[in-house]
Structures are given as structure tokens and as C-alpha cells.
């Protein structure tokens, strides 16, 4: 057995990123010979506004062995079946990006080619009617999927809306119970090794020193280790994702508990609405070139479901990523690694994917450069893929009514995204690559939702007689609708299985 194993890990930051990292590493490493310390400063605080997630979060919770109903109760969570987009492609137009798949593959041909064929023949059934998650979302219904792939209920997919602060607190208990040591202190200095520039130790505000072999930077936007100490550099994506500020405010719940996030395009950005059990999270993500902070806050406050529960909080950011996520003996996770606006709820997912990859490519004290190289390659691919997906929402707009939207409609876009759009337009094919987060149904939802139509469908979809395809799709649509209607209401499901206590 190598005696070169990592013995000490120091995590800086106790936000969602810090505690997700501590929880997973404490589970994977089982903390026999390795010590994990997490340093967080209550004086600095956390961002704490990440509230909407995507389905892979369930895998993360399962890896931790967390009981889902207990997690929901502890974090005031609700279920999320997708995201509704209002006014994105055009004013007055709404579409849904549901989780899970559309329809089923018929004769080896992706479902949407059959749907396109019927549409060209005059059938106006929206794509959403062939998604169980989409149908259930708009009926306000929820139940958990089954595993048997022969049943339509297996096509449902879900994630959560939760209180990110409560989630971090929940994982803190989890990690501390598994031996993670928490230091409530501020890091005031980062000591580098003269010979190779690796991090040697952190100096805390009580004069103590924390030495470690591996340092994980979860210090938020400031990137205390990865940027301030190691000067890694940042790739700025503002020209593709121009929003650079947000104002967030919670309000009282009103009406039914909707099982989806809503994103409404506004004059200089977009507003999120995220229903939790005890409140609704709201925010306006905007571009400071086109609106003032005061006007953004006024727009947000004028568009809430219920009474305001706290003062609006303003946040600033620069969309982009660190040039390296793993530099020397430091790995950046969470906001310290980069940021893309929460339009598709991908930030918490990026923490998950980073820490899972780190666990898989876990170094020893020799820090073989190929480990860092591979980790960086995978993370860069993941970030760029998500960047393209989010940019699609902005560039595929027909709006010219406001300067932001006119800019987005005509802005240059990444070549990789231009290729995907061109391919879809020419043949209805969705380009997606190995291990991508967003796959065919996700891209399809945005392409069609924002009126990017292919010039033709796959000719193989024309082989079955038209009437047979029509019958098959009608049967499917009816089955989906009936299955969704038979589910309990979203609120009813929560009340029966996982209602949280009052706060």
C-alpha cells in the first residue's frame, strides 16, 4: 500500500459547495487515515440563493445514502418536473422544458421525427403532451416514477426546489457525523511552497495554521485559493451570457404548489419563481448595461405572488469559468470555479459533477499532472456544454423590443452552439456527445420552444403508414394524460409523504 496517500484535506467555505464536498468525500474516503477540515466564516456568509435543481441531484443524495422524504422535510423542498419559460422566444409565448423523455422511439427513429411528420400534416398537438413530466407539471400532479421501462410511469423524471441554506446545514450534520472537523474562522493568509508554488498552509484569524496535502476552494466568487493565491485566471463569457447581476427576494406562497420552476423574460433579463413548501423564492437576473439596480428591484417587487418576506438582496457576478479548475494541489468547486446564471439550475449540479469526478480521480501526494489534466478536460467540457445550452435560450429569440434582447438576437455565439443549431435546422437531428448533461429531449424542448424549426424530418419516419403513426401517437398521448390525471396533486403528495414542519 502506498504511503503517499492524501492524509489531510482542507476545504475553505461552508456554502452549498463546501458541505456537498465534505459530505461526499467523508462518505467515499470513510475517513480512516484521512482528515477533512472545513473552514467557514460566519462574518463572510454564503450566497444561499440556489434553490432549483435538476434530476442528477437524486443520484448525489442516493450516493450519500440520504432518505429522500427526510431530506425533503428538512429542506422545505418541493418536487420539480421542469421549467416553464415565458416571453423568451416572443412576447406572449410560453413553453415548458420538462424533465424526462418525450414519447418513445418508434422503429429506431427518435420520437420527435414522427411528431414532426404529423405536424407537417396539420396535427397541432404540442410536444409537451408527449411528456409525462410535462403533462403532470401543468396538471399540478406528482408521483414518483417506476423502474419498469415498459410502463409509461418510468418516463417521469424529477428534481427538487429546496432552501439551499437548509440543504447546506443538513449536509453539515451529515459530514460532521462522519468525522469532518468544522472550524468557524476566517482564512487571512494563504502560504505557498517556495519550490513549486503549491499551497502549504492556511493562516486563520486566530493565528492558527492549517496544513494540508489537498486544498479545496469553496470560498465563493472571490476564489480565495484558486484565484487570489494561485492566480489561475478567469475566462469571461459575458459576451455570450450578458447578465451580470441579480436581485433576490422571498415571498409568501399563494395558491397551488406548482411542481415546476418559472422563468419569465423581463426587459433586461429574466425573473425566476421557485415554490418551496414554506415560501416562494424569486429573483431577477439582469444585465447592468440595460437596467439600474433600483429599476430591477422595482420590477421584481411588482411581480410577486404574495407578500415580501425579507429585504431584496443584490448580487453581482461575471459569467465564465476559471482557466483551470484544478491547479497544483487546489481544486475549485462551486462559485469559486465559475458561474453561469441559474436559468437551467446547473450550478449545484456542477458542484456535484466536480466532486464526483474528484472522488473518481482522487490524487495522492505526488499529484501526477495527468490527474489534474484529465479533471480539467472533463470539467471544461461540462462547463462549455452548459454554456451553449443556456446561450441557446438567449440567442434563439425573435425579440427586438428591448436592447438586451436585440443584442442577444444578433450576438456572435460559440461555434459549437452554431453547429448544433445549424444541424437541427437542416435535418432535425440533435447533436449530443458522450456524457453530456443535456441530451436530446432537453435540446429539443428549447429548439422547438423558441421556434427553431427543422427544414425536414428523418425520412425513415415516413416508412410506416401515416395512419399507423397517427394512431400510435394518439394512444400515447391519451395514456400520458390519463397517467398524469391519476396522480395525486403535488401538494397532496407532499402532505402524505414529506411535509416539512412550520418555520
Q: Which one of the spans 10-18, 393-401, 424-432, 485-493 is the region binding ligand FAD (CB under 6 A)?
A: 10-18
Q: What's the CA gap between 387 and 382, in Å, rounded? A: 9
Long-range contacts: 443-446, Cβ < 8 Å, 24+?
443/389, 443/392, 444/102, 444/112, 444/127, 445/95, 445/96, 445/97, 445/98, 445/127, 446/97, 446/389, 446/392, 446/393, 446/396
Counting every residue, how long is the chain? 503
Cβ proximity to ligand FAD, 135 vs 345, nearer residue: 345
Question: Is 443 in a helix, a strand, or coil?
Answer: helix
Question: Is 124 in a helix, a strand, or coil?
Answer: coil
Residues 26, 224, 357: CA angle, nearest 5 degrees: 40
* Choice from 9, 17, 156, 500 touching ligand FAD (CB under 6 A): 17
164 binds ligand FAD (CB under 6 A): yes
244 binds ligand FAD (CB under 6 A): no
* Choice from 10, 11, 16, 487 touching ligand FAD (CB under 6 A): 16
Kindly report the number of other CB atoms within 10 A of residue 398's CB atom.
14
* Nearest distance in Å: CB 113, ligand FAD: 33
Cβ proximity to ligand FAD, 5 vs 295, nearer residue: 295
Query: Could you give the string, one character per residue 334-373, with x where binding to ligand FAD holds by CB under 6 A and - elsewhere?
Result: xxx-----x--x-xx-------------------------
Q: How far apart are the first and last CA of the chain?
A: 50
Question: What is the bridge-based pairing of β-strands 159-161 and 78-80?
Answer: antiparallel
* Choice from 89, 98, 134, 220 touching ligand FAD (CB under 6 A): 220
Catalytic one among 80, 186, 323, 324?
80
Cβ proximity to ligand FAD, 104 vs 295, nearer residue: 295
3-state secondary structure 26-45: HHHHCCCCCEEEEEECCCCC
Cβ proximity to ligand FAD, 130 vs 174, nearer residue: 174
* Nearest distance in Å: CB 220, ligand FAD: 3
* Choice from 5, 28, 31, 44 touching ligand FAD (CB under 6 A): 44
Q: Which one of the spans 47-55, 144-152, 380-388, 445-453 is the region binding ligand FAD (CB under 6 A)?
A: 47-55
201 binds ligand FAD (CB under 6 A): no
* Nearest distance in Å: CB 470, ligand FAD: 40
* 253 touches 278 (CB < 8 A): yes
Q: What's the CA gap between 501 and 474, in Å, rounded? A: 43
Cβ proximity to ligand FAD, 48 vs 488, nearer residue: 48
CA-nearest of 175, 179, 223 to 336 is 223
* Nearest distance in Å: CB 13, ligand FAD: 3
Cβ proximity to ligand FAD, 335 vs 404, nearer residue: 335
* Nearest distance in Å: CB 271, ligand FAD: 11
Segment 173-192, which members bind ligand FAD (CB under 6 A)?
186-187
Residue 333 CA: distances (Å) to CA of 51, 372, 437: 18, 14, 18
Q: What's the CA gap between 140 and 142, in Å, rounded? A: 7
Segment 246-275, which members bind ligand FAD (CB under 6 A)?
246, 248
Kindly report the number of other CB atoms within 10 A of residue 69's CB atom.
13
Q: What's the CA gap between 396 and 392, in Å, rounded? A: 6
Measured N-to-C along each axis, helices 415-427 and 369-395 cross at an angle, to the nearest 10 degrees, of 50
C-alpha cell of residue 314: 443584490
Q: Which one of the spans 49-57, 104-112, 286-294, 319-327 is the region binding ligand FAD (CB under 6 A)?
A: 49-57
* Choice from 6, 10, 11, 15 touching ligand FAD (CB under 6 A): 15
Cβ proximity to ligand FAD, 354 vs 454, nearer residue: 354
Cβ proximity to ligand FAD, 336 vs 395, nearer residue: 336
Scanning the structure block, which residue is given the C-alpha cell 456535484?
Answer: 352
Q: Is 74 a catalytic residue?
A: no
* Nearest distance in Å: CB 270, ligand FAD: 11
Q: What's the CA gap between 361 and 392, in Å, rounded? A: 32
Kindly report the number of other CB atoms within 10 A of residue 370's CB atom.
8
Active site residues per annotation? 80
Which residues contribute to the site for ligand FAD (CB under 6 A)?
A: 12-18, 39-41, 44-53, 164, 186-187, 218-220, 222, 224, 246, 248, 283, 315, 317, 334-336, 342, 345, 347-348
Amino acid at each position: 500500500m502506498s504511503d503517499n496517500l492524501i492524509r489531510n484535506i482542507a476545504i475553505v467555505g461552508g456554502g452549498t459547495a463546501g458541505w456537498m464536498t465534505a459530505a461526499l468525500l467523508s462518505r467515499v474516503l470513510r475517513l480512516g487515515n484521512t482528515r477533512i477540515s472545513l473552514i467557514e466564516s460566519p462574518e463572510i456568509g454564503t450566497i444561499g440563493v440556489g434553490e432549483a435543481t435538476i434530476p442528477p441531484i437524486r443520484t448525489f443524495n442516493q450516493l450519500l445514502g440520504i432518505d429522500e422524504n427526510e431530506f425533503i422535510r428538512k429542506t422545505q423542498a418541493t418536487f420539480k418536473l421542469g421549467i416553464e419559460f415565458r416571453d423568451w422566444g416572443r412576447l406572449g409565448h410560453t413553453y415548458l422544458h420538462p424533465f424526462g423523455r418525450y414519447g418513445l422511439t418508434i422503429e429506431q427513429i427518435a420520437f420527435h421525427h414522427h411528431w414532426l411528420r404529423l405536424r407537417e400534416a396539420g396535427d397541432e398537438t404540442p410536444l409537451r403532451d408527449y411528456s409525462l413530466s410535462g403533462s403532470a407539471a401543468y396538471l399540478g400532479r406528482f408521483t414518483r416514477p417506476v423502474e419498469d421501462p415498459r410502463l409509461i410511469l418510468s418516463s417521469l423524471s424529477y428534481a427538487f426546489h429546496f432552501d439551499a441554506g437548509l440543504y447546506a446545514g443538513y449536509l453539515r450534520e451529515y459530514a460532521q457525523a462522519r468525522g469532518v472537523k468544522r472550524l468557524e474562522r476566517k482564512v487571512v493568509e494563504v502560504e505557498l511552497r517556495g519550490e513549486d508554488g503549491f499551497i502549504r498552509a492556511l493562516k486563520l484569524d486566530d493565528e492558527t495554521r492549517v496544513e494540508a496535502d489537498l486544498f479545496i476552494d469553496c470560498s465563493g466568487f472571490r476564489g480565495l485559493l484558486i484565484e487570489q493565491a494561485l492566480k489561475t485566471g478567469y475566462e469571461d463569457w459575458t459576451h455570450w451570457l450578458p447578465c451580470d447581476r441579480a436581485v433576490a427576494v422571498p415571498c409568501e406562497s399563494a395558491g397551488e404548489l406548482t411542481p415546476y420552476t418559472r422563468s419569465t423574460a423581463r426587459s433586461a433579463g429574466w425573473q425566476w419563481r421557485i415554490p418551496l413548501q414554506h415560501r416562494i423564492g424569486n429573483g431577477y437576473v439582469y444585465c447592468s448595461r440595460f437596467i439600474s439596480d433600483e429599476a430591477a428591484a422595482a420590477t421584481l417587487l411588482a411581480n410577486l405572488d404574495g407578500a415580501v418576506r425579507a429585504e431584496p438582496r443584490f448580487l453581482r457576478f461575471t459569467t465564465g469559468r476559471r482557466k483551470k479548475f484544478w491547479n497544483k494541489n487546489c481544486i475549485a468547486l462551486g462559485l469559486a470555479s465559475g458561474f453561469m446564471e441559474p436559468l437551467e439550475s446547473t450550478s449545484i449540479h456542477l458542484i456535484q459533477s466536480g466532486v464526483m469526478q474528484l472522488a473518481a480521480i482522487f490524487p495522492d501526494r505526488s499529484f501526477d499532472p495527468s490527474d489534474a489534466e484529465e479533471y480539467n478536460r472533463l470539467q471544461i467540457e461540462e462547463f462549455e456544454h452548459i454554456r451553449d445550452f443556456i446561450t441557446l435560450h438567449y440567442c434563439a429569440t425573435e425579440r427586438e423590443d428591448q436592447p438586451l434582447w436585440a443584442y442577444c438576437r444578433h450576438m456572435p455565439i460559440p461555434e459549437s452552439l452554431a453547429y448544433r443549431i445549424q444541424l437541427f435546422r437542416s435535418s432535425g437531428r440533435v447533436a449530443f456527445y458522450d456524457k453530456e448533461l443535456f441530451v436530446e429531449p432537453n435540446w429539443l424542448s428549447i429548439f422547438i420552444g423558441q421556434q427553431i424549426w427543422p427544414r425536414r424530418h428523418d425520412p425513415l419516419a415516413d416508412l410506416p403508414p401515416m395512419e399507423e403513426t397517427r394512431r400510435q401517437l394518439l394512444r400515447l398521448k391519451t395514456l400520458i394524460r390519463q397517467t398524469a390525471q391519476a396522480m395525486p396533486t403535488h401538494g397532496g403528495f407532499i402532505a402524505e409523504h414529506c411535509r416539512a414542519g412550520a418555520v
